[in-house]
Amino acid sequence: MISHIVIVVSIALNLLPPDVHAFIITTPEKETTRYARHPRGGYGVTPATADDAKFFIKGTTLTIKTHGQDVSMDLAQILGIRKDTDWKTINCITFGDKSIRIQRQANGANITIGPSKQQAAKEAVRLYQVRWEKET
């Protein structure tokens, strides 16, 4: 199973406006992580350490580079979306027993992950806040 944070980073990368040089994700536990654009492409955690991964997105393919290795994932296959998904219009993704809701804001997006309508609502809904940092 893919982790929630990898899903949120992947969605954030697909939603980024072109003038955004960094974004911050706040988890339900109120932990924040900043991801900044690297000069050679991709986004990575800042301040960076040698162990931090870089994330690259092309269409629905997410590539994570870490420790000299590349791991690629097809989000279309994992999330059950089409490869030509229009990320500007998508508001909800249901995969397996999970539902992802995307609420856009002028300065980012709120992404919630919770149980799908078919599953009993015993599982808590988790809110991830994504905020853009635009180039000035």
pLDDT tens digit string along 60-74? 888 888 877 888 989
- Distance between CA atoms of 86 and 84, rounded to whole angstroms? 6
Cα separations in angstroms, 96 against 2, 9, 113:
12, 19, 12
Burial status of residue 130 (CB atoms within 10 A of its CB: 0-12, 13-18, 19 or more):
buried
Could you tell me which of 52, 17, 5 has the C-alpha nearest to residue 133? 17
The predicted structure's pLDDT at residue 132:
95
pLDDT tens digit string along 16-55? 998 899 999 999 999 999 998 888 778 888 776 656 778 8
The predicted structure's pLDDT at residue 115:
83
- Distance between CA atoms of 73 and 49, rounded to whole angstroms? 23
